[in-house]
Amino acid sequence: MLQVHEVLKSYDGRAVVNRVSFEVRAGEIFALLGPNGAGKTTLIRMITDILKPDSGTIRFEGQPIGAENRQRIAYLPEERGLYKRSKVGEVIEYWGTLKGLTRAAAQREAKELLARVELSEWTDKQVQALSKGMQQKLQLCTALIGGPRLLILDESFSGLDPVNVQLLEDILSERRAGGVTVLLSTHQMNKVEELCDRALMINKGHMVLYGPVREIRRAHADHAIMVRAQGELDGLPGVRRVEQVNGDKKLVLEPQATAGSVLRAILDRGVDVESMNMAELPLEDVFIKVVREGLGLDHGRSEIEPDALAAVAERAR
């Protein structure tokens, strides 16, 4: 659905987004990750046609981003703003008309959206009467009205209580089931693990990770397996050490060992194995590890070496 190829954007001679390439597939929830100042917001603004790239291309459903198709893209930025003295229902209707709906259609859809986010009773109240979390749900409605094909959300879970976090997750699942594609920019790595199919991470404008979320986690984990078993696992051939992790045992393997060979050794010992999986590093740990390592960017180089980037991409696959 979305194709970004070799996109570059510079300010004052410094590349804020440096030759970034990725794709977002139709119907998936895709995570855009990176530390503060990594270039995420600039990248999103180019995708939404707020900014033009210095070079490279961005295509949406096979066509360049422009007036013909940007109405099918909705963007909920991290820095939000609403007309405080306007009525809640009128705010959504206004956004609906901006997206090409008739006044009657905008009113109908606004009523449905307010009901879905549990704000129906606030329709005729002024925006300033809403709490911060309620205003956030209202702003989500302004993004959802008009039936966008691509929904871009920047820190959409911030400020929501657990009940409304679940409500937002349910809405995203419903929209996805209806064919909507979601690009989610967030620092909440647990939500990326729960919701997202694939992810791109940028740091200082460069791509550093790209691929399926689970494969990214696995690629940065130790050469290890997680085993739930009744029996002694110390001293197995090919196992460097055994660690206790939340009731399971993490077997850190020797470089030449494989999960299959270790499983055979466990079964040969007569141990009853309930489950076994490859160890995966939590995405938050991957995030911290990659940012700190910086792939040499903290050592005076302005660009990632091509071989290093290729190695990261290969690990992410």
| DSSP three-state, residue 64 | strand
Q: Which domains, and CATH codes, for the chain? A: 2-215 (3.40.50.300), 222-278 (3.30.70.100)
> How far, CA to CA in Å, does 50 sit from each of 42, 43, 67, 91, 259?
9, 10, 11, 22, 49
Please give the chain's pLDDT, 317 residues, in tens. Answer: 999 999 999 999 899 999 999 999 999 999 999 998 899 999 999 999 999 999 999 999 999 988 888 889 999 988 778 889 999 999 999 999 999 999 999 999 999 999 999 999 999 999 999 998 899 999 999 999 999 999 999 988 887 899 999 999 999 999 999 999 999 998 989 999 999 999 999 999 999 999 999 888 888 777 888 899 888 888 899 998 888 887 888 898 988 888 889 999 999 999 888 898 888 778 888 888 888 877 443 333 333 333 433 443 443 33
| DSSP three-state, residue 229 | strand
Distance CA 287, CA 299 (A): 19
Range list of H helices, the chain: 40-47, 88-98, 103-116, 132-144, 162-177, 189-195, 213-219, 259-268, 283-293, 306-316
Query: With a threshold of 0.95, does the pTM exceed it?
Result: no
